[in-house]
Amino acid sequence: MNIFVVNSGSSSLKYQLFRWPDEQPLCSGLVERIGSAQAEITHQVGPAEQRHALAVPSHEAGLRAVVRLLTDGPGALLPDPAAVDVVGHRVVHGGEFFGGPALIDAAVKAEIKELFGLAPLHNPANYQGIEVAERLFPGARQVAVFDTAFHQTLPEYAFRYALPTALYAEQRIRKYGFHGTSHQYVAGQAAAHLGNPDARLITIHLGNGCSMAAVRGGRSLDTSMGFSPLAGLVMGTRSGDLDPSVLLHLLGPLGYTMEQVSTLLNKESGMLGLAGSNDLRDVGRALAAGDARAALALDIYAYRIRQYIGAYAAVLNGLDALVFTAGVGENDALVRARACQNLEFFGLELDAARNEARAPGLRDISHPAARVRILVIPTNEELEIARQCAAL
């Protein structure tokens, strides 16, 4: 079976092709700046990378160009588009409709569309990717894998806000949680590594967006993002947790518009707002150069993670492993060290040399004698999507 995984964003499209059942990635790539006359396709087969600059007016044109790369010329991987058996789509919001992957039909599409209101930045672009793939791969089965699905196992006392019940019952205002595909993937890897399917895990996804999850027996029990991906940890450009009155103060006395508040919280806050850069590599360099703003920003970032570790150790009534993943979690030893500081009470002790060492794949960076493992596990959302498609 050939499984083609698509992650369709507002102006970009990421893809990866897998051969099944050996989980072999055949190629991967990215179409950037869709809608401009200067779009770029980066297409990677094994170690070889090709770059193509061309006009890509639409998602359809972008995916058409990718299909040509897959099926035309000497490097072709497939004889024709009909060789794709399944297309797996990343869809950000599955609301309360989807607790797992779904075979896409008219009803599933209608439900994804109904969720545009809850995920206006993401679901429309994901939906567009589905419609384009249906046209370009008419013989394939299309599957949707939702970022929220893994967190549908949260108990009601964890996902409800203390707002009047009608706002939940009628408007579906509750915690949904996001990054579920990544949390699910690394939690599965960790449980397999520990040889304990019932492991109590705290998974920490630190990329541009950041979130944590409390996972036991492969089920998400709580997570730090909420109604939207704005809640929880300090992120690259998002504020994370905030007293809601701050918004009222901005909108009232300070005269901000809704639009300005949204831009402020989503695009100008987090590490960018605190330290002047959303990239933790810049913040690390500034810190090394003695920048006090960078030092404080990192303290705030790590303190918030430590608070959630404490909270989730309580949710899980103990802890078997802490898992770091995504761009920052996999690469930034300083962030990991700060996030694990002063947590000996919970049995967490980092091994400084193992934390600093770089190696591919899963790594245990905890002190050998510590009660709780600390793991670094590279996430692979595309592979998790392909696995869920295959299982379905």
Does 263 help bind ligand ADP (rule: CB under 6 A)? no
Cα atoms in the Cβ-side hemisphere of radius 13 Å centred on 107: 4
Does 279 help bind ligand ADP (rule: CB under 6 A)? yes
x/- binding map, residues 54-83, to ligand ADP, per CB under 6 A?
A: ------------------------------
Least Å from the CB of residue 180 to ligand ADP: 14
Least Å from the CB of residue 115 to ligand ADP: 21
Contact residue for ligand ADP among 66, 119, 328, 377 (CB under 6 A): 328
Give, in order, the Cα–Cα distances in Å from 224 to each of 18, 182, 206. Answer: 31, 14, 12
Neighbour-count burial of 331, counting CB atoms closer than 10 A to its CB (0-12 exposed, 13-18 middle, 19+ buried):
middle
Cβ closest to ligand ADP, residue 11 vs residue 331: 331
Cα angle for residues 193, 337, 175 (degrees, 5° grid): 70
232 assigned to a ligand binding site: no
179 assigned to a ligand binding site: no
Q: Supply the Cα-derived Rg of the chain in whole angstroms.
A: 21
Give, in order, the Cα–Cα distances in Å from 249 to each of 182, 228, 261. Answer: 35, 21, 11
Does 285 help bind ligand ADP (rule: CB under 6 A)? no
Does 207 help bind ligand ADP (rule: CB under 6 A)? yes
Does 11 help bind ligand ADP (rule: CB under 6 A)? no
Q: State which H helix or E strand residue 89 sits in.
A: strand 86-91
Active site residue 198: no
SS3 content of the chain, % helix, strand, coil (to 5): 40, 20, 40
117 assigned to a ligand binding site: no
Neighbour-count burial of 248, counting CB atoms closer than 10 A to its CB (0-12 exposed, 13-18 middle, 19+ buried):
exposed
Contact residue for ligand ADP among 281, 285, 295, 352 (CB under 6 A): 281
Does 236 help bind ligand ADP (rule: CB under 6 A)? yes
Does 327 help bind ligand ADP (rule: CB under 6 A)? yes
- β-strands 141-146, 102-103 pairing: antiparallel
Contact residue for ligand ADP among 62, 88, 209, 232 (CB under 6 A): 209
The active-site residue, picked from 22, 72, 85, 147, is: 147
206 assigned to a ligand binding site: yes
Q: Which residues are catalytic?
A: 147
Q: Which residues bind ligand ADP (CB under 6 A)?
A: 207-209, 236, 278-281, 326-328, 331-332
